[in-house]
Amino acid sequence: MVTIAAIIYEPGNSIRNKTGSWRIFRPILDNNKCVKCENCYIFCPEGIIQEDENGNFKIDYDYCKGCLICMNECPVNAITKIREEK
């Protein structure tokens, strides 16, 4: 059933679209090298590099499109890439 005027009443429900399937390369973040500069956090176009309960940045691979901006902007090379298997 289509809503009146196709209004979408559920904010941010695009999260049901798992764009991680787009990936060719997967960025891997080594938390031991991370200096918490927040570059990867702020530059990720999907906004899916977030801190876990210990305050360490983690990449959510459900959504990561593999653009590798995070890898390019990391000042300490804490992020490397590997090719996705499939």
Partner 1 sequence: MQFSREELFAPGHRGCAGCGAAIVARLVLKAAGKDTICVVPTGCLEVMTTPYPETSWRVPWIHVAFENAAAVASGVESAIKALKRKRGKFANKKINVIAIGGDGGTADIGFQALSGAMERGHNILYIMYDNEAYMNTGIQRSSSTPYMAATTTTPPGSKIKGEDRPKKDVAMIMAAHGIPYVATACISYPEDFIRKIKKALSIEGPKFIQVLQPCTTGWGYPPHKTIEIGRLAVETGVFPLYEIENGEFRITYKPSKRKPVREYLKMQKRYRHLTDEDIERIQKYIDEKCKLLGL
Partner 2 sequence: MVGKMCEVKVITGTSAAAEAARLSDVDVIAAYPITPQTTCVEKLAEFVANGELDAEYVKVESEHSALSVCIGAAATGARTFTATASQGLALMHEVLFIASGMRLPIVMMIANRALSAPINIWNDHQDSISQRDTGWIQIYVEDNQETLDSIIQAYKIAENEEVLLPVMVCLDGFILTHTVEPVTIPKAERVREFLGVYEPKHAYLDPDRPITQGPVGVPDCYMETRKQVEDAIERSKKVIKDVNEEFNEWFKRKYGNGLVEAYNLENADTVLVAMGTVCGTIKEVIDKLKKEGKDVGLLRIRTFRPFPKEDIKELLKDAENIAVLDKNISLGFNKGALGIEMASILKNKKICNYIVGLGGRDIRIEDIKLIINDVEKAEDDKTAWVGLKE
- Which residues in this chain contact partner 1 in the complex, by CB under 8 A? 2-3, 6, 8, 10-19, 22, 38, 41-43, 45-48, 50-51, 60, 63, 65-69, 71-73
Please report, as a single letter, which amino acid is at residue 2: V
Which residues have C-beta within 8 Å of that of residue 76, sequence separation ≥ 6? 33, 34, 35, 37
Tell me the Ramachandran region of residue 52: left when phi exceeds 0, alpha when psi lies from -120 to 50, beta otherwise. beta
In degrees, to the nearest 5, what angle opens at C-alpha 30 toward C-alphas 84 and 42? 85
Nearer to partner 1, 3 or 32 (CB): 3
If binding is defined by CB under 8 A, does position 4 make contact with partner 2?
Answer: yes
Our CB check for partner 2 shows the closer of 7 and 82 to be 7
Residue 71 binding result from partner 1, partner 2, none, given CB thresholds of 5 to 8 Å by partner type: partner 1
- Does 11 participate in binding partner 2 (rule CB under 8 A)? yes
